[in-house]
Amino acid sequence: MQETATFTTSPLTARRVASGVRARTLSIWFLIGHLAALAFGLAGMLIAIPNPDLWRNSELGLRTYDFGMTYAGSLHIVFGAAAMFAYGIHAIGLRKTALFFASAVPLSLASELIGTSTGEPFGNYAYSSFLGYKVLDHVPFSIPLSWFYVGFATYLIGHALAGMWNVRPVWAYAVLIGAWLLTVWDLVLDPAMAHESLAVRFWSWSETGPYFGMPLQNFFGWTLTAMIFMTVARMLWMGDPTMDRRELRIWFPFVVFAANIVFASALSASVDLWIPIVLAVVFGLLPAALVLAPDRKSARQASPSVTG
């Protein structure tokens, strides 16, 4: 008599699988919302605000404009944070994702609060009211969320690149690459968002410097802040993600990073800042895109060997 082997799945495992599937689905929808909100924000700043004749005679246009002026500044950030959090649950688990969030948000908020109060470590600057409610009347709630979701994306890209290049220790190179990519994003974002010619200014500088009117200290502050919260998160993880690029769905954090580079580049182009765009593409977008390269090791293992 032939016996048939049966396999059962424990309720706990089944719940974890179901939770991972839900997180993956949510991450896609939140990513779509993030991309749509970025496009909506660009349309508002580059088309709607400079051309009020297009919408001021329409009730729908007026409502859309009011909504955009009230919420658009923070909307894409909230969607971006939700997308990366849901992605993280599916890709590396709830624990690691929550620990990265718990490291990035309070530490970046503390850095920004110190920065807006003392001028250290970024320089003397102040936020406008277009990015949402301000924590302690200084830093919009959306700012630490932006540090989280772009920082999480760049850290995972850095982790994947360190694995590709087989450099050790992986976590240290992941921190260095992640902080580098995050700072490169600011190279193109900051000059545009604070530019006097932009229809809406999101922050302003009370000092000048050699980088399109900004102090170089700002970028030191960005790199330092990123390295601190990425290192703290990795220490709390007590281990690197074990998945390869394919299992990590590394295209997801790359799309998030690339979309935000494109968003900032479009704003920079609108005020004729072309050098920051070149810097962001050459030193940020192109290196990050290497994570999408075919896995040569896997390809060699999958190819049949031919002997003569």
9: left (phi over 0), alpha (psi -120 to 50) or beta: beta
| pLDDT tens readout for residues 173-186 | 999 999 999 999 99
CB 53 within 8 A of CB 204: no
| pLDDT tens readout for residues 2-22 | 444 444 445 555 556 666 678
- What's the mean pLDDT in 61-65? 89
Q: What's the CA gap between 127 and 92, in Å, rounded?
A: 34
pTM of the model: 0.89
3-class secondary structure, 267:
helix
| pLDDT tens readout for residues 277-306 | 999 999 999 999 999 988 665 444 444 433
User: How high is the pLDDT of residue 65?
Assistant: 85
CB 121 within 8 A of CB 220: yes
Cis peptide before 191 (omega within 30 of 0): no
In this structure, the chain runs to a length of 308
Confidence of residue 146 (pLDDT cuts 50, 70, 90): very high
Confidence of residue 194 (pLDDT cuts 50, 70, 90): confident
Question: What is the DSSP track for 90-129?
Answer: HHT-HHHHHHHHHHHHHHHHHHHHHHHHH-TTT-SEEE-S
Q: What's the CA gap between 147 and 74, in Å, rounded?
A: 13
CB 171 within 8 A of CB 234: yes
